Amino acid sequence: MKTNILLSTIFLLVVTNLFAQDSNFHIYICFGQSNMEGQGTIEEQDKNVDDRFRVFQALDCPNLNREKGEWYTAIPPVCQCHSKLSPADYFGRIMIENLPDSITVGIINVAIGGCDIRIFDKDIYHDYTSTYTEQWFASKVEAYNGNPYQHLMELAKKAQSDGVIKGILLHQGETNTGDEQWPVYVRKVYNDMLAELSLNAETVPLLSGEVLAVEGSCCSSMNEIINTLPDYIPTAHIISSKGCKGQDNAHFNSEGYRILGRRYAEKMLWLLGH
């Protein structure tokens, strides 16, 4: 009897060790709308990526030779099969450049152009899956099985067996421009994510980027509301878009994404004590 108990204990220890989280694999959840998807032209300089920066594939993308739920070197695009350069790209690059060589950084990116933040509210998302009647929007929602929040959570839970979630990156707000309840909506989504993934706000901050703020931009007034987010979420931090140029009235250009991604990383590195 004692021998059986001993063997069972050894077996459990071995299995636990084999499937234990790697504390040196830092994972970041990215979500939002079109700027988090990535709308910047992918240039040659963007294709050279250190394999310490990884993406957990959110969709099956035959054109990229990637399968959903697998880790790949984070060569853009890192959101959808045909998305472009995003702030997540240079967030990861700057992180690994400034962290010890023993650290690997992974991202999970689920974003939908044109979406209301409430499409990520697990209780009322169905009221916002038809924000636009255009087929392009419906197709993006359908790609996430009609429920972007649940799709993201399923990916994050699977990824947790490989590493440790260290932060959540948000870029959204254009569709909610002028809605002073936006911070309340974000707080609920953030709290739901923490609860579902058994995470602690004190160790998993929320980094939220300002929208494009150049002259003539559609939604720069939203930045005033975005900047109130830390009043609602003590562990939220705002990433400035000042000086980031655009390609149209809503989206950053490639250099704007690179700068914004660097700023996300600089804030996260500061929070990590680097």
**Is the residue at 3 inside a domain?**
no
Sign of the CA dihedral running 58, 59, 62, 67: positive
| Number of domains observed in the structure of the chain | 1
**Is the residue at 52 inside a domain?**
yes
**Is the residue at 127 inside a domain?**
yes
**Is the residue at 50 inside a domain?**
yes
Provide the pLDDT for residue 133: 84
Provide the pLDDT for residue 10: 42
Provide the pLDDT for residue 187: 98
Q: Percentage of residues in the chain with pLDDT exceeding 90?
A: 90
Cβ atoms within 10 A of the Cβ of 31, count?
Answer: 27
Question: At a CB cut-off of 8 Å and minimum separation 6, what does 60 contact?
Answer: 66, 67, 68
Provide the pLDDT for residue 131: 83
Provide the pLDDT for residue 12: 42
Phi-psi domain of 65 (left: phi exceeds 0; alpha: psi -120 through 50; beta: other):
left
Provide the pLDDT for residue 132: 85
**Is the residue at 234 inside a domain?**
yes
Domain that holds residue 101: 23-272
Per-residue pLDDT tens over the stretch 98-139: 999 999 999 999 999 999 999 999 999 999 998 888 999 999
Do 114 and 34 contact (CB within 8 A), yes or no? yes
CA 128 → CA 44, 131, 138, 143, 260, distances in Å?
37, 5, 11, 15, 28
Provide the pLDDT for residue 20: 62
Whole-angstrom Cα distance, residue 124 to residue 13?
A: 42
Q: Which residues are catalytically annotated?
A: 34, 248, 251
Which CATH number is 78's domain given?
A: 3.40.50.1110
Instruction: Please state whether the predicted TM-score (pTM) of the whole model is above 0.85.
Output: yes
Per-residue pLDDT tens over the stretch 41-71: 999 999 999 999 999 999 999 999 999 999 9
Question: At a CB cut-off of 8 Å and minimum separation 6, what does 152 contact?
Answer: 29, 31, 58, 108, 110, 120, 144
Mean pLDDT of 148-167: 98
**Is the residue at 8 inside a domain?**
no
Sign of the CA dihedral running 141, 204, 69, 195: negative
Do 246 and 207 contact (CB within 8 A), yes or no? no
Mean pLDDT of 180-203: 98
Provide the pLDDT for residue 152: 98
Mean pLDDT of 227-252: 98
Least confident of 11-25, 32-46, 75-89, 235-249: 11-25
Do 57 and 66 contact (CB within 8 A), yes or no? yes
**Is the residue at 237 inside a domain?**
yes
The mean of the pLDDT values for the chain is 94
**Is the residue at 7 inside a domain?**
no
Q: Read out DSSP for the chain?
A: -HHHHHHHHHHHHHHHHHT---TTEEEEEEEESHHHH--B---GGGS---TTEEEE--S-BGGGTB-TT-EEE-PSP-SSTT--B-HHHHHHHHHHHHS-TT-EEEEEEEE-TT--GGGG-TTTGGGSTTSS-SHHHHHHHHHTTT-HHHHHHHHHHHHTTTSEEEEEEEE--STTTT-TTHHHHHHHHHHHHHHHTT--TTTS-EEEEPPP-STT-SSTTHHHHHTTHHHH-TTEEEE--TT--BSSSS-B-HHHHHHHHHHHHHHHHHHHT-
Mean pLDDT of 207-214: 98
Q: Is the pLDDT of residue 9 over 90?
A: no
